[in-house]
Amino acid sequence: MPSTRPPNYYAILGLSSTASTNQIRDAYKRAALKTHPDRVAADAPDRAERTRKFQLVNDAYYTLSDPIRRREYDEQRKIFGVGADYVPPSSASSSWGGSAASGGSGGMPGGFDNTSDPFAEADAGAGGASTSPAGQAFSWAWNFFTKQHQSNNDNGRAQQDREQTQNEQFADVFEEMLREEGMAEPDGTNRPTNKFWSLLGGISGAALGFIVANVPGLLAGVVAGNRLGAIRDAKGKSVYAVFQELPQDDKARLLTQLAAKVFSHTVGI
């Protein structure tokens, strides 16, 4: 059993402890979109903070989305006396400030506005450090549920496994939201549709445009840039795989545009 108190994962997702499975998933979508580090440039001053918050959001979803893990977490929460039940605010503004469309954190019903910061409290509960002795991002959830304690002895395996799980979690909801918007095929492949390519091509114009092999007419008249050569042929790839291969600047613009144009009903803007 970890010697540290568990974070308030309900508060991190802006939920009460009575939230349903669907509410937990919807809250994860909102929080993941709001905290995703690719919403900002690679050298942005707040990228490290965003990365940490995104990690905690994923830890929260990993814990609360599984009934068994959620029950065990609730037991630990009682043992350690982790705060009173969180009551999501009715206001659309949050303590982070800004808007979801601009990459800030405001405008999210059930957001993170409360008398305390659950993200800061999560690290305070870990002894005030967001990293393990091995220099890896600390995770109460991963340590507790997988028993893979992040130390120098495991050579980073726990961190790699955690990052893979985090990536898979976000990919799952990312593709689900795109399917709902008609931007990913509903046949199980999650391949980009014409609507996806149209949005992608319109974000940065010729600077972002590229020719997709075997899909004629999707970006007619746009010349592929050299920096996008690696993803000219997206045949057979899911929308998330295409997203991951975009250069960072274009990835940031795409994710911001998706939050504003595609996911407006999800992030409350």
| β-sheet bridge partners, residue 137 | 131
* DSSP single-letter state for residue 216: T
| β-sheet bridge partners, residue 192 | 184
Name every residue whose Cβ is closer than 8 Å to that of residue 105 and which is 6 or more positions away in sequence.
34, 35, 94, 95, 96, 97, 98, 111, 112
Distance of CA 43 to the CA centre of its chain: 19
Query: pLDDT at position 116, please?
Result: 78
Express each pLDDT in 127-143 by its tens digit. 555 555 444 678 899 98
C-alpha–C-alpha distance, residues 186 and 176, integer Å: 9
pTM here is 0.77
CA nearest neighbour of 232 among 212, 207, 204: 212
* Residue 231 clears pLDDT 70, i.e. is over it: no
| β-sheet bridge partners, residue 131 | 137
The number of residues in the chain equals: 269
Whole-number Cα distances in Å, 119 to 9, 38, 152:
9, 19, 25
Express each pLDDT in 180-212 by its tens digit. 888 899 999 998 887 887 777 665 543 344 433
Which is more confident, 162 or 172?
Answer: 172
